[in-house]
Structures are given as structure tokens and as C-alpha cells.
Amino acid sequence: MIHVKNLKKSFGTNEVLKDINAVIKPREVVVVIGPSGSGKSTFLRCLNLLETITGGNVTIEGTDITDKKTDINKVRTEVGMVFQQFNLFPHKTVMENIMLAPMRVRKLSNEEARSKGLDLLRKVGLEEKASAYPESLSGGQKQRVAIARALAMEPKIMLFDEPTSALDPEMVGEVLEVMKQLAKEGMTMVVVTHEMGFAREVGDRVLFMDGGYIVEENEPKELFENPQQERTKSFLSKVL
């Protein structure tokens, strides 16, 4: 589904991703962990071209997204993204946040978009907030709306960049719950997170990144209990 080959990314002279190789299969949940500044966000953002890639290839469903001829908006409709800071549109209601892109990009009618929006709000447990503005929601509710908004485009892949890191502890659970549900339904997901419990329970595979490389990857149980690399061991000893 996603093939990453020799991916490199530099900001000016600062090479942040040095040589990333990864394959993500359909219906797989891949969790990315690693110390701050190791390039996790940058890696994720390269997968939907929020960052311009400086070297290597990323192929999504057979489409080389680094090819100049590729329609990058088309690619993005297939790859949903959820941000640490939610990034809801503050001037639009919850429902309008969800309806906007399906109407503009998928050309759904108002009624179609609204009924899809209601379904999704029900799914994340927020149908009573349809006409609320984002500022009146709690962090956990905002993030669930952001997930619903991304799902409204019916993406084949969902990227999550530390979706619970900006939340108060008591709200982490409700967001993880939605993500677990999504995984259970067979969504292909790439999740950057510090929630090791989530990684262990939901992840099919864990990638450990450090210094712009994927240093080690394995099934969660194996990687957590039996890390092979020194760097993985020392990182895990700090977070577990």
C-alpha cells in the first residue's frame, strides 16, 4: 500500500531524514516511536507531501507521489491526517468542518455531506455537538472531530501525528478508543505516539526512529520485550 524507498528530507543543510525504507501493508497499523527531533513528524508529513521530499521515492497504491506529474491533491484525498494541535477550522461549526472538503473536493451535495457528517459524528460519539463551534469543545472532543473530518474524505490511509500529546490525561482514552475502533474496521494507519499501551494493543508493527533512520522495527511485543539495538533499549528504558 505504501512503499518508502531511500526517502531523504533536508531543511536547508539540516538532513532530517537520512535513508528511510518502509513498507506498509493494507489494513496494517504501524506505530512510529522515537526521541524528540528524530524525524517522526517529518516522515509522516512526507507521506502526504506536506513536506517536499528531497530524495528517494514514496509510492502509495502504485502512484509515485514524488513524480511531478502526480496530482498531489488527489493523493491527499486518499491519505487522511490528524494533527497534534487538531487544526479544526475555528470559524466553522463542527458539522461545517466535516462537510467542507467532501463538498469542495468530492463535490457532494449539501445533504449528502450532512448525512455523512452525522454518521461520522455518531461514530465518534459527538452528534450532539454538530452545530457547536470548536472553541466550545474539550481537547478530546476536538480531536475526535478532527478524526471525523479526515474520515469524511473516505481515505484509504490515516496518518496520526501524536494525536493525544496535547490532551489532558483524562481525555487521552476517548481518542485512543476511536482509533482502536478504526483499526478494528481495517483502516490502514500510521501512528506517531508515545502511548506504548496503544502500540502494544493495537499496533501490528512498531518502527523505532532515531537520528533520521529507522533503527529497528518489529512486532510490538518483540520490540518492547526484546529490543536488539542499544539505542532502542536506552529509549525504551526511559519511556516504559
Partner 1 sequence: MDFRLDILVEYIPFFLKGTLLTIGLSIAGIIIGTVLGLLIGLGKMMRNKPIAFLFNCYITFFRGTPLFVQILLIHFGVVPMLIGHTNGIVASIIALSLIAGAYIAEIFRAGIQSIDKGQMEASRSLGMNHVQSMKDVILPQAFKRMIPPLGNEFIVLIKESSLAAIVATPELMYYGRALASQYYRVWEPYLTAALIYLVLTTSLSFLLNRLERRLATE
Residues that bind partner 1 (CB under 8 A): 48, 50, 73-74, 76-77, 79-81, 83, 85, 87-91, 100-101, 104-105, 146, 149-150, 153
- Interface residues for ligand ATP in 16-55 (CB under 6 A)? 16, 34, 36-42
Among Mg ion, partner 1, ligand ATP, none, what does residue 16 contact (CB within 5–8 Å per kind)? Answer: ligand ATP
Residue number closest to Mg ion, CB atom: 41
Q: Which does 36 bind (CB under 5 to 8 A by kind): ligand ATP, Mg ion, partner 1, none?
A: ligand ATP
Q: Which residue, 88 or 191, is less far from partner 1 as judged by CB?
A: 88
Site for Mg ion in 38-97 (CB under 5 A): 41
CA 110 to chain centre: 27
Least distance (Å) from ligand ATP to the CB of residue 215?
13
Judged by CB under 6 A, the stretch of 9-17, 72-80, 182-190, 219-227 that binds ligand ATP is: 9-17
Distance, CA of 86 to CA of 167 (rounded, Å): 10
In the complex, least distance from residue 64 CB atom to ligand ATP, rounded to whole angstroms: 23
Least distance between partner 1 and beta carbon 230 (Å) = 35
Residue 112 burial by Cβ neighbours in a 10 Å radius (0-12, 13-18, 19+): middle
Question: Shortest approach of partner 1 to residue 222 CB, angstroms?
Answer: 32
- Reading the block at residue 72, the C-alpha cell is 498531489
Q: What is the DSSP string of the chain?
A: -EEEEEEEEEETTEEEEEEEEEEE-TT-EEEEE--TTSSHHHHHHHHTTSS---EEEEEETTEETTSTTS-HHHHHHHEEEE-TT----TTS-HHHHHHHHHHHTS---HHHHHHHHHHHHHHTT-GGGTT--GGGS-HHHHHHHHHHHHHTT--SEEEEESTTTTS-HHHHHHHHHHHHHHHHTT-EEEEE-S-HHHHHHH-SEEEEEETTEEEEEE-HHHHHHS--SHHHHHHHHHH-
Q: Which does 85 bind (CB under 5 to 8 A by kind): Mg ion, partner 1, ligand ATP, none?
A: partner 1
Q: Which of the listed partners (ligand ATP, Mg ion, partner 1, none) does 218 bind, with a CB threshold of 5 to 8 Å by partner kind?
A: none
In the complex with ligand ATP, which residue's Cβ is closer, 118 or 196? 196
Which residues of the chain form contacts with Mg ion (CB under 5 A)?
A: 41
- Which parts of this chain interact with ligand ATP (CB under 6 A)? 11, 14, 16, 34, 36-42
